[in-house]
Amino acid sequence: MQDWLTAQEAMARLGLKPQTLYAYVSRGLIEARGDERDSRRSLYRAEDVARLEHRKARGRRPAAIAEDAIAYGEPVLASGITTIERGGLWYRGQDAARLAESAKLEDIARLLWNCGTQRFPPLATIVPPGEPLARIFAVIAARAATDRPMAGRTKKALYLEAAAVLDALVDAIAGGPGEGPIHARLASAWSCEAEGAEPIRRALVLLADHELNASTFAARVTASTGASLAACAMAGLAALSGPLHGGVAPRVLALMREIERDGLETALAARLETGAKLPGFGHPLYPGGDPRARALFAAFEPPPAYAQAQAAIGMLTGEEPNIDFALSALAARLALPETAPFQIFAAARCTGWLAHALEQNETGQLIRPRARYVGPAPA
C-alpha cells in the first residue's frame, strides 16, 4: 500500500469535500505533508485515511463508536495537559524536546500540574529494605492505603500531596530520603553523577507525560472514582510494569544479548524471519521517528553495540529508535542496574499520572465505559 495519497485520492476514498478533508487534518485525524514534487500540493497519510475508511464502513452504531474510541490513537476524553502533534510532543503547548534542554523534572511537574511557582519541600519517606522495584511498589502502596481521597480538598493541599507522592517514589528508587533535584538524587544513588546527571535529567523531562497512554489512562480512571493521589500513582505503576509499556527495556536488553551472542546479522535475521517486531524501534504515533529518542541521544554517546544495532535496524526496516531503545542505551552507557530504565520511567511518568489525576478530579466525573458483549446470550 502506498504511504501517501493526493487530496483527490483521499477525498474519493472517504467521500469527502475539500473543506471536510482539511477539517480532518486540522483535528489531527489525518496527517498531511507537502509534496516534494509540487510545492502547491499536499499529500495525506494513507494509513490515517484507511482507518477512517474502516470506521465509516462500520457505520456509526454506538458500539462501533465506543470500540473505535478505545482503539490505539483515538481520543477518548478532553485534556489540556499533553498532545502529540506535527511529529512532536507538547506539554501544555510547549515543545517537550526543547524543555528537555534545560528544565528539571520539578519544573515539568509545576507545568503539568498547573500550579505556578508552588514550592515543594522534600519529605523524609521511610523506605523498606529490598530490591528497588519492590521498594517502589511498597512505598506507594503504603501511601495509597492511608492517604485521604481527593474529594473536597483544596488545590494547594492536593499540589502538596502530589509533590509528596512523587518525592516518596524517588526516595524509594534512591533507597532513602535525599535533597536536591531529582535527577541528581538518582545519579547519586547510581554513582554516576559526573556523566549521568545530565542525560538522566533530560530523560526524566522527556518521559514525564505522553498523553493517554495505558498507565496514564489507568491513573485517570482511578482518579475518576475520587481515590487518593497515591492510589492513582499505584494504578499507573501497575500498568507501567507490563512488558508492552514500561517493560520494553528488558526486551531491548534481550535483543542486544542475542546480538552479542550470535552476531548482529544473524540475530536480526532470526528475529525478522519470524515476523517479530524489533523492540525499541518505531512508534505508531511518530511515523517520522520518536522525537524523545532524538532529544535523549543528543545528551550522550550510545555504546558502540547500540549504535551499530541502530544503524543496521534502520537499514533493514527503515524504522527509527524510540525512547525505549534510547533509554536502554543510556543505561548501558552508564552501567546502570537492569531495572534502572523502568525506575527512570516511573519517576518521570509519575508527574504525568498526578497531572491527569488532578485534572480528572476537577471534572467530578466517573469514567465508566461499556463493554460490547460477545458471550452467550442471557438465558
Cβ neighbours of residue 138 under 8 Å, at least 6 residues apart?
A: 128, 130, 172
Is residue 149 predicted with pLDDT exceeding 90?
Answer: yes
How confident is the model at residue 160, as a pLDDT?
A: 94
Is residue 55 predicted with pLDDT exceeding 80?
Answer: no
Handedness of CA 91, 96, 85, 354 (dihedral sign): negative
Model pLDDT for residues 267-316, shown as the tens digit of each residue: 999 888 887 789 999 998 898 899 999 999 999 999 999 999 999 999 98
Handedness of CA 11, 14, 16, 22 (dihedral sign): negative
Is residue 72 predicted with pLDDT exceeding 60?
Answer: no
Q: Identify which of 377, 379, 365 has the alpha carbon closest to the alpha carbon of residue 77.
A: 365
Size of the chain, expressed as the number of residues it contains: 379
Q: To 5 degrees, how large is the angle CA 274–CA 267–CA 314?
A: 85
Give CA–CA dist 232/215, Å, rounded: 10
For residues 325 and 310, the answer to whether their CB atoms sit within 8 Å is yes
Verdict on whether the full-model pTM lies above 0.85: no
Is residue 87 predicted with pLDDT exceeding 70?
Answer: yes
Residue that the C-alpha cell 500531596 belongs to: 161
Residues designated catalytic: 283, 324
Residue type, 269: A
Give CA–CA dist 247/342, Å, rounded: 7
Model pLDDT for residues 224-248, shown as the tens digit of each residue: 999 999 999 999 999 999 998 998 9
Is residue 61 predicted with pLDDT exceeding 60?
Answer: no
Is residue 99 predicted with pLDDT exceeding 60?
Answer: yes
* DSSP secondary structure of 22-46: HHHHHTTSS-EEEETTEEEEEEEEH
Per-residue confidence at 370, pLDDT binned at 50, 70, 90?
confident
Q: Is 225 exposed, middle or buried (0-12, 13-18, 19+ CB in 10 A)?
A: middle
Packing angle, helices 155-174 and 229-240, rounded to 10 = 40
**What percent of the chain is predicted at pLDDT more than 70?**
93
Per-residue confidence at 347, pLDDT binned at 50, 70, 90?
very high
Residue that the C-alpha cell 507522592 belongs to: 165
Cβ neighbours of residue 91 under 8 Å, at least 6 residues apart?
A: 81, 82, 99, 108, 111, 112, 208, 209
The pLDDT of 317-339, averaged and rounded, is 96
Q: Identify which of 286, 285, 276, 266 has the alpha carbon closest to the alpha carbon of residue 317.
A: 276
CATH no., domain 77-367: 1.10.580.10
Model pLDDT for residues 173-212, shown as the tens digit of each residue: 999 998 899 999 999 999 999 999 999 999 999 999 999 9
